[in-house]
Amino acid sequence: MSASAVHSLWTTAATAADPISKIPAPKIEYGQLSPTLIVVGAAIVGVLIEAFVPRKSRYYAQVFVSAVALCAAFAAVVGLAADGYGTTKAHIAAMGAIAVDGPSLFLQGTILLAGLVGLFTFAERRLDPEAHGNRVDSFAAQAASVPGSDSEKAAVKAGFTTTEVFPLLLFAIAGMLVFPSANDLLTLFVALEVFSLPLYLLCALARRKRLMSQEAAVKYFLLGAFASAFTLFGIALLYGYAGSVSYATIAQVVDGSITNVDPALANTMGNDALLLVGGAMIVMGLLFKVGAVPFHMWTPDVYQGAPTPVTGFMAAATKVAAFGALLRLLYVVLPGLRWDWRPVMWAVAIVTMLGGAIVAITQTDIKRLLAYSSIAHAGFILAGVIATSKDGVSSVLFYLGAYSFVTIGAFAVVTLVRDAGGEATHLSKWAGLGRRSPLVAAVFAVFLLAFAGIPLTSGFAGKFAVFKAAAEGGAAPLVVVGVISSAVAAFFYIRVIVLMFFSEPRPEGPTVAVPSPLTMAAIGLGVVVTLVLGVAPQYFLDLANQASVFVR
């Protein structure tokens, strides 16, 4: 493997006497980066559409471009995987910045599918009642107008919609595609920012309860900025430790197998304090993104305040991307340090599983409940991460795939249950839903059972896979804690089912809106994936298994 891009630039600068013509042109494998490039390109086209296409046709143009781009990118991922880039031809592209290997492609495929399903829920325009004869979606008419102001009313009256959400979604997806495949720390950081910033914006764009939505966005932004700062600080420290931001070089320095020590960095290089503190700070940033305790504080507020389609997309795709990055960091950069990080991750996993499950019991809002449930799930996935084995990787990949479809589906169901104030997210309003709309309640029950890990749903297969990997990796106590918190978690999922089916419907209860085929597709896909992965998971386990080797 070549030395990192940064490293070679630095040496080029040191020998400045050479004529400029000798600077090697960077070799970029455009074909292998095509999934990301397609999405970024489409996002830029989306921005241009905002600038030049008349307002009336923007929505259709945006949805069309986004859908085509996501499908094309997914096709590109499948093509790369079929070419063997996930297994035999796995290598490091773009001058050491991007790894094209099994985990990258698997996670990119998952993110793209989650993005596509997310797009369906973004594009839904039949749920909210028509405002002044215009169909509207879940997003604010004009984000810049102050909530409750005259300009907002004017915007609503004019039938404005924020079609910018589509390019924002695409930018976020592009960042997420790079995040798990980043192979040096700077790419990692750039990808982190590229997908975080659009998400902060998207969180603020709710059509209803705008103040809450903006509050959520500010919280997410502030805490996210802290996390980014930590990550960046950690990157600086690791650079000081290894003299490089490249994953491979850092791993070599950790192993002690590096040969060419840079004299300028001889003082700090190999200083374990830098390694430990730097590594911990980067991991902290990633744990923030996955919502692990104790870095989970933002999750409930943001999940509750953000427009529900955004919440669903964020809950699914961010977790996939962030766990991908965490896996690569721990398995590629810091495997030599596992005796140091494993105990810490043990503790994090245990408090995450128990904390998420226990606090969820007291929740009265369905979105907050799902937020805490997502925290508990982050804990279960961490149990697979801790296994430090090939099985660990494949189980985490499988879990992420299974989980993201359940999550988007569940939040899509939440968008359907509405009363006069928009979505009826308070749990008490869900009482008796099973009597009013048996089908919607049954579908939601399937998602809840999958969250609870009941056999014959994808949740069980995923949970079994991570627990099996953890047990084989010698983390049996973690499995016991996981099983106990599953039992606790089951309690609150069941409580929602009790409410829906066994409680008398209230006279002033919410109605279930009939969605367009878009949301139906999102929900239907969620149900199908949940059941297929529950009953016949073998094909997807094989896929995850083949995809579970990182390139170094």
Partner 1 sequence: MSFPLLTATAVLPAVGAIATAAVPAARRTAAKWLALIVSLATLALAITILVRFDPDGGRYQLTESHAWIADFGVRYELGVDGIAVALIALTALLMPFIILAGWHDADPLETGSKRWRPTQGFFALILGVEAMVIISFEATDVFLFYIFFEAMLIPMYFLIGGFGDRAHEHGEEAASTQRSYAAVKFLLYNLVGGLIMLAAVIGLYVVAGNFSLQEIAQARANGSLHMATSTERWLFLGFFFAFAVKAPLWPLHTWLPNAMQESTAPVAVLITAVVDKVGTFAMLRFCLQLFPEASKWATPAILVLALISIVYGALLAVGQRDIKRLVAYASISHFGFIIMGIFAMTSQGQSGATLYMVNHGISTAALMLVAGFLISRRGSRLIADYGGVQKVAPVLAGTFLIGSLATLSLPGLAPFVSEFLVLVGTFTRYPAIGIIATFGIVLAALYTLVLYQRTMTGPVKQEVSAMPDLRARELVVVAPLIVLLIFLGVYPKPVTDIVNPAVKSTLSDVHKKDPKPAVEAAK
Q: By CB under 8 A, name the one of 503, 521, 531, 549 that touches partner 1.
A: 503
| The binder of partner 1 chosen from 373, 486, 519, 530 (CB under 8 A) | 486
- What is the C-alpha separation between 79 and 73, in angstroms, rounded? 10
For position 520 contacting partner 1 by CB under 8 A, the verdict is no
In whole angstroms, give the CA distance from residue 351 to residue 345. Answer: 10
Please tell me the count of residues contacting partner 1 according to CB under 8 A: 40
Q: Which is nearer to partner 1, 158 or 456 (CB)?
A: 456
436 part of the interface to partner 1, by CB under 8 A: yes
Select from 87-95, 225-233, 234-242, 466-474 the region that touches partner 1 (CB under 8 A). 466-474
Phi, psi dihedral angles at 308 (to 5 degrees): -55, -40
At 99, phi and psi to the nearest 5? -95, 130
Q: Of the two residues 8 and 546, which places its CB atom closer to partner 1 in the complex?
A: 546
Exactly one of 40, 334, 454, 496 binds partner 1 (CB under 8 A); which one? 454
Interface with partner 1, residue 464, by CB under 8 A: yes
User: Which residues make Cβ contacts (< 8 Å) with residue 52, sequence separation at least 6?
Assistant: none
d(CA 356, CA 117): 26
Candidate segments 14-22, 120-128, 265-273, 469-477, binder of partner 1 by CB under 8 A: 469-477
Three-class SS of residue 196? helix
Containing H/E element for 2?
Answer: none
Strand order in the sheet with 422-423: 422-423, 417-419, 511-512
Q: Rounded to 5 degrees, what are φ and ψ at 182? A: -60, 135
Among 135, 208, 338, 435, binds partner 1 (CB under 8 A): 435
> Is the CB of residue 33 less than 8 Å from the CB of residue 98?
yes
Cβ 377 to partner 1, closest distance in Å? 15
Residue among 208 and 468 whose Cβ is closer to partner 1 = 468
Shortest distance, position 452 Cβ to partner 1, whole Å: 8
Token pair 């297994």 is at which residue?
87
- Which of residues 81, 408, 479, 529 is near partner 1 by CB under 8 A? 479
Cis peptide before 35, with omega less than 30 degrees from 0?
Answer: no
Min separation Cβ 493 and partner 1, Å: 10
Query: Using the rule CB under 8 A, is 484 a contact of partner 1?
Result: yes
The reply to whether 471 sits near partner 1 by the rule CB under 8 A is: yes
CA atoms within 13 A on the CB side of 357: 25
Closest CB 457 distance from partner 1, rounded Å: 9
Cβ closer to partner 1: 326 or 541? 541
By CB under 8 A, residue 502 contacts partner 1? yes
Q: How far is the CB of 373 from partner 1 (least distance, A)?
A: 16
Q: Using CA atoms, how far apart are residues 267 and 184, in angstroms rounded to an integer?
A: 22
Minimum CB distance to partner 1, residue 359 (Å):
18
User: Taking CB under 8 A as the rule, does residue 84 contact partner 1?
Assistant: no
CA dihedral 255, 258, 264, 268 (to 10 degrees): 10
Tell me: does residue 361 bind partner 1 (CB under 8 A): no
> If we measure between CA atoms, which residue out of 496, 370, 490, 489 comes closest to residue 434?
496
Q: Which is nearer to partner 1, 126 or 495 (CB)?
A: 495
Measured N-to-C along each axis, helices 366-386 and 319-328 cross at an angle, to the nearest 10 degrees, of: 20
What is the closest distance, in whole angstroms, from the C-beta atom of residue 430 to partner 1 in the complex?
14
Question: For the chain, what percentages of helix, strand and coil (3-state, to nearest 5) are there?
Answer: 70, 5, 25
Count of helix runs (H) and strand runs (E) in the chain: 22, 5
Nearer to partner 1, 183 or 486 (CB): 486
Least distance (Å) from partner 1 to the CB of residue 362? 16
Burial (CB count <10 Å: 0-12, 13-18, 19+), residue 266: exposed
Residues near 152 by beta carbon (within 8 Å), at least 6 away in sequence: 140, 141, 142, 145, 146
Q: Exactly one of 268, 389, 516, 545 binds partner 1 (CB under 8 A); which one?
A: 545
Segment lying near partner 1 (by CB under 8 A), choices 8-16, 18-26, 255-263, 454-462: 454-462
* Residue 449, C-beta contacts closer than 8 angstroms, at least 6 positions apart: 457, 459, 493, 497
Cβ at position 539, least distance to partner 1 in Å: 10
Amino acid at 88: T
- Among 55, 438, 511, 514, the residue binding partner 1 under the rule CB under 8 A is 438
Nearer to partner 1, 129 or 438 (CB): 438
What residue type is assigned to position 439 of the chain? L
Tell me the CA distances in angstroms from 525 to 51, 373, 407, 412, 532, one per residue in order: 34, 21, 11, 11, 10
Nearer to partner 1, 7 or 429 (CB): 429
Q: Build a one-symbol-per-residue string for 316-355: x at contacts with partner 1 by CB under 8 A, - elsewhere.
A: ----------------------------------------
Contact flag: residue 437 with partner 1 (CB under 8 A):
yes
Q: Which residues form the interface with partner 1 (CB under 8 A)?
A: 435-439, 449, 454-456, 460-461, 464-465, 467-468, 471-472, 476, 479-480, 483-484, 486-487, 490-491, 494-495, 498, 501-505, 536-538, 541-542, 545
